[in-house]
Amino acid sequence: MSRPLTVAAAQLGPIARDEPRSAVVKRMLALMQEAHEKDVDLIVFPELALTTFFPRWYFEDQADVDAFFETEMPGLETQALFDKAKELQIGFYLGYAELIKDPAGDRHFNTAILVDKTGEIIGKYRKIHLPGHEENETWRPFQHLERRYFETGDLGFGTYEGFGGTMGMCLCNDRRWPETFRVLGLKGAELVMIGYNTPLHYPPAPEHDHLQDFHNHLSMQAGAYQNGTWVVGVAKAGKEEGCDLIGKSCIIAPTGEIVAVAETLGDELITHVCDLDRCDEIRKNVFDFRRYREPENYTPITEAKEK
Ligand code: CDT
């Protein structure tokens, strides 16, 4: 192994609507401690990891929505995660709801940050592929109002130098889009971190419910292989406020093989020693971008979408 990085996927079980941030942070600190005992360098938490998955409800009052958002990072409750990172020398990826207070209009993003071993934020990503719908659709057993509560991320798909390599981030629904991985791949990402909250039941096409775990792994394994990158996918899992969320958090090698997978639907840590040099197994072969890509034929991909 020439560039080993010990990575943990820190799956979280359900978070109740009335569970305070402090209780969730306590659960996360326990996972960080367990990770430390396993010599982990980088621990990956889920999307919107600090609260219940609130887009499942329609709220008339914006103040009720904003209560799920962070106005500062670190904030009062989350400072402990940064302190722990520094103390244990563990970096982390954290998904959370980001609120920017602005007299011209508040801004809301579904965000992930990358924090290094000194407790400094070295990367930020704001979710680009927002799934679900904008209006209250009362026929559904639960809502998926990400398109109402968040605006489209404005930071692009960035990569960040850290942890001995090039790190990439995205969030949940982004993993279903090959463009996400390809842009990160073109920017040299050697490890892509993805937090997710994926309901088992998809009301517009329930005939696909039995495929949720399959599609989850299919997308991430393809993204890993086709771009020669490690992928860490981390769920918020289990029955949360009556809604089943899939688990199966996993670590995937650049060959597309799953090398570690969660077995439960609760708080669970899985780890793997990822050799970042293994990306070359793919990138210097089948997916040697410089040699084999044919971008002149890909122009429809970047044409503006029809309104
Ligand atoms: N959080 C998130 O992006 N969830 C979506 C659910 C399916 S689309 C309603 C996902 O891609 O897993």
Report the distance separating Cα 114 and Cα 253, nearest Å: 20
Distance 274 CA to ligand 1 centre (A): 27
DSSP string, 41-64: SEEE--TTTTS--GGGS--SSHHH
- The residues pairing with 97 across neighbouring beta strands, listed in sequence order, are 110
**Ligand 1, atom 12: closest residue by C-alpha:** 198
Residue 305's pLDDT is what? 87
Residue 50's pLDDT is what? 98
Q: Which parts of 187-257 fold into alpha helices (H)?
A: 212-227
Structural domains present in the chain? 4-301 (3.60.110.10)
Length of the chain (residues): 307
Sheet holding 191-196, edge to edge: 159-162, 165-171, 191-196, 230-235, 250-252, 258-261
- Is residue 123 within 8 A of residue 167, CB to CB? The reply is yes
- Give the residue carrying structure tokens 């930071």: 155
Report the distance separating Cα 82 and Cα 67, nearest Å: 22
Task: State which ligand 1 atom lies nearest to the alpha carbon of 173.
Answer: 11
Report the distance separating Cα 160 and Cα 156, nearest Å: 12
List of long-range contacts for 218-221, beta carbons under 8 Å, 24+ apart: 219/175, 219/176, 220/175, 220/194, 220/250, 220/252, 221/252, 221/256, 221/257, 221/258
**pTM assigned to the model:** 0.98
- Residue 265: DSSP 8-state: S
CA 152 to chain centre: 15
Given 70, 84, 98, 127, the catalytic residue: 127
Using one digit for the tens of pLDDT, what is the confidence trace for 180-190? Answer: 999 999 999 99
- Which pLDDT tens digits describe the chain residue by residue (307 residues)? 699 999 999 999 999 999 999 999 999 999 999 999 999 999 999 999 999 999 999 999 999 999 999 999 999 999 999 999 999 999 999 999 999 999 999 999 999 999 999 999 999 999 999 999 999 999 999 999 999 999 999 999 999 999 999 999 999 999 999 999 999 999 999 999 999 999 999 999 999 999 999 999 999 999 999 999 999 999 999 999 999 999 999 999 999 999 999 999 999 999 999 999 999 999 999 999 999 999 999 999 999 988 7
**Ligand 1, atom 11: closest residue by C-alpha:** 173
Using one digit for the tens of pLDDT, what is the confidence trace for 30-73? Answer: 999 999 999 999 999 999 999 999 999 999 999 999 999 999 99
- Residue 145: DSSP 8-state: -
Six token digits for residue 4:
């080993």
Given 70, 98, 172, 274, the catalytic residue: 172
Note if 86 is an active site residue: no
Six token digits for residue 275:
């050799």
Ligand 1, residues at Cβ distance < 6 Å: 47, 131-132, 144, 172-173, 176, 196-198
